[in-house]
Structure 1
């Protein structure tokens, strides 16, 4: 949670920075979480910083939705309540919105481990837009505008999933594409780049960041293989 993602506003006047939590569910005290588990907004001219959105346990990749102009983020959720909870997610980020952490998840699903509770905050917790699977460690996010991978990838977002470390059956370890329509996710994800788990069950690669290069190919940073993969459309397709 010590890494940060940074993106500039379209006009270049502000920066948006992701800051992960200090803990799993606030067990180190909420004083330790000041300006954490949040997306911060930095005014470049005044250097003033404010919390743009909060309750995001470990926000990572940031990207502007080209259709709506809204900021989106990929978020890693909490651990230690089973293989299938809580799903990591991607969501649009609203100014001033609270997304639940640590008191609740996916809206008003209360995490009973957190004491004392904050029912007022839980009541206004925003439900994320799209679940990406539990413990997938979804890190990178970029929209497909400018990509030249074919019509199937014309409108949507690429998400890199670093992969689980605490699940009985591994999840993630791939790059997926989430189709969009009308500025929102519109269907199930499609695998774009996979095969990172060897026959012995060990990871040969773990996707981290994703970006579209000037030719329209998809670039994928891999911090186990120590390479950057380039995914392009096959000739004749």
Structure 2
């Protein structure tokens, strides 16, 4: 650990102790969360466990009736998963690449993030994993695509493979069974890179459109709203015409997306702003309305104004209240729809990979959860699927959940763990 990391750990420890005084003990979760009043932090709470990884034989903990095994291991910061129709599993391996620090806070943040293995040299590739014998462990590994710019989201439509790089969407021709793609690809849409750098992708049910999540550059428009133009939004790309537009906005960092089959609505998980307290505001799961505005940066959870931001009352009046709170700073990233019967003991609903954030005095997230749905809506408290990624004293992380997907057999879940460098497979016992 370098000197800055040591200093940050000491100062951060003091700030965490101060922030714990009066910190809420109940998570802001559900359709009607109790959200504490904003408690400005001044110097933001900066708490991140040191990345340790998994010891030999050590596994995450599972809900009763489930078991977990490593489907693939030895990856380099796996973030996102795409399962192809032939059963091949693609994994985007990428990492945040920091800009030169401008302030002491930048240096402190980067030192902490390096200790957590959250930033550094990015592999910038997509790997392919094949489990030909169906035993739940991939025995073949190939480099499917390399030389990308922080690849994240992936999608396959009618023989074209799409990649969500941090600076835009790129398309490549693909034939079933191929294990490697070559060439530069065709750039279809350009996005401003960096900041919240992930670019998740999802195809519309009729395969005519592609949707991309593009996060904000900063916490609350710290560099002005011009720098945020085109960001904090979900984009829609018409695959026939190539026309792209903002589908919904005011979403600080929309990452995972999923289609809910009863109503046909698009849903997303969003990481909310920092600096207002452990549970304020909560990250959330929400349906996404066309041309809808969800508040960022002016307000949160509907019309709760953030007075740190130069206000726009008209935008505040438009803000849509999200559907379901997921707790403050859980860093909910992964999202997929899970049909009933996929895992024993679980109905239909949304599976969410909670990566865990640094802006809390008591850590939260670091687990894979399930939100049950009925008639197209959330219908009950979240249920744990997988946990045990964090040491009890919160000093070390063995892993951190990110992307999730239904396995090729339709009777398992796959989850990317970017600290453990593993793709976990969850099934019934």
- TM value normalised by structure 2: 0.53
Counterpart among 380, 384, 407 of residue 187 in structure 1: 380
Shift of 1:223: 0.2
Residue of structure 2 in register with 1:20 after alignment: 215
Residue of structure 1 in register with 2:399 after alignment: 205
Task: Give, in whole Å, the separation in 1 of the partners of 2:341 and 2:225.
Answer: 42
Shift of 1:199: 4.1
Residue of structure 2 in register with 1:81 after alignment: 276
Residue 170 (str. 1) matches residue 363 (str. 2): yes
Deviations 1:113-153 (A, max 9, x none): 001x1111111100000000000000011111275212x32
Task: Give, in whole Å, the separation in 2 of the partners of 1:176 and 1:220.
Answer: 11
Instruction: Point out where structure 2 has 5 or more consecutive residues left out of the alignment.
Output: 1-195
Task: Give, in whole Å, the separation in 1 of the partners of 2:206 and 2:289.
Answer: 18
Residue of structure 2 in register with 1:38 after alignment: 233
Counterpart among 320, 326, 335 of residue 141 in structure 1: 335
User: What secondary structure, in the 3-state scheme, does the structure 1 residue paired with 2:314 have?
Assistant: helix
- The alignment covers a number of residue pairs equal to 232
Structure whose alpha-carbon radius of gyration is higher: 2
Shift of 1:214: 2.4
Shift of 1:12: 1.0
Residue 159 (str. 1) matches residue 352 (str. 2): yes
Shift of 1:22: 0.8
Residue 126 (str. 1) matches residue 324 (str. 2): no
Q: Relative to 1, partners in 2 of residues 1:33 and 1:147: Cα closer, same or farther, differing over 3 Å?
A: farther
Task: Give, in whole Å, the separation in 1 of the partners of 2:319 and 2:258.
Answer: 22
Task: Give, in whole Å, the separation in 2 of the partners of 1:139 and 1:75.
Answer: 8
Counterpart among 88, 107, 111 of residue 306 in structure 2: 111
User: What secondary structure, in the 3-state scheme, does the structure 2 residue paired with 1:32 have?
Assistant: coil
Root-mean-square deviation (Å): 1.0
Counterpart among 169, 182, 200 of residue 5 in structure 1: 200
Structure 1 stretches (4+) deviating beyond 3 angstroms?
none
Structure with the larger RCO, 1 or 2 (CA within 8 Å, 6+ apart): 2
User: What secondary structure, in the 3-state scheme, does the structure 1 residue paired with 2:226 have?
Assistant: helix
Residue 221 (str. 1) matches residue 427 (str. 2): no
Shift of 1:86: 1.1
